[in-house]
Amino acid sequence: VSGLGGQGVIRCGMIIGMGASIYDGKHATVLQSFGPEARGSASSAQVTVSDAPIGYPYVKHADILILMSPDAYRQFAATLKPGGLLIYESELIKLDRPLPEGARAFGVPASRLAEELGRRIILNAVMVGVFAGLTSVVSSEALEKAVGESVPKTTRELNLTAFRKGLEYVRGA
């Protein structure tokens, strides 16, 4: 998961890891990286999910990439494995290079969908919903629980609505 600080990149990765480990009973690691500025700098979360213990938590070649900014696309698109899945913010990122063999891309206007709900910052919850709708790595029920448990109580319902909106977007595509 990569984008800019302030887009909820780290929380997106944490939600996926939490859903996998706490609610689906899998093994998960989450490594975070972010620039010196709190907002606007590069940010990423490397999430590894497995049915077996994880011996090496670093992601060199991703099965799934969630990219939320053009800089993230430029930096990480080449790490997608052949046959992988690229989930990207379609109103910010323009795909300008070929995907690896057998890979597929799914664009979602996550920022706009979040704005329609009243807060652009919940685009990460939209992206988690899209991830849930497109993959079976972590169950959608586990991810929904993780969203609810990982956000402030004051924004819980809004984040859950954003998660469901991401799921609905996939189902309507």
pLDDT at residue 33, as a whole number: 85
pLDDT at residue 173, as a whole number: 77
Assess contact for 85 and 66: CB atoms under 8 A: no
pLDDT at residue 39, as a whole number: 58
Q: What is the full DSSP assignment across 48-79?
A: EEESS--S----SSEEEEEE-SHHHHHHHGGG
Q: Collect all residues with Cβ–Cβ distance below 8 Å to 97 and sequence separation of at least 6.
A: 77
pLDDT at residue 38, as a whole number: 53
51-99 pLDDT, tens digit per residue, is 999 999 999 999 999 999 999 999 999 999 999 999 999 999 999 999 9
Low-confidence ranges of the chain (pLDDT < 70): 35-40
Euclidean distance between the first and the last CA atom of the chain, given in angstroms as a whole number: 22
Q: What share of the chain is helix, strand, coil (3-state, %, to 5)?
A: 45, 25, 30
Assess contact for 153 and 34: CB atoms under 8 A: no
How many angstroms separate the CA atoms of 100 and 90, rounded?
19
Task: Quote the pTM value.
Answer: 0.94
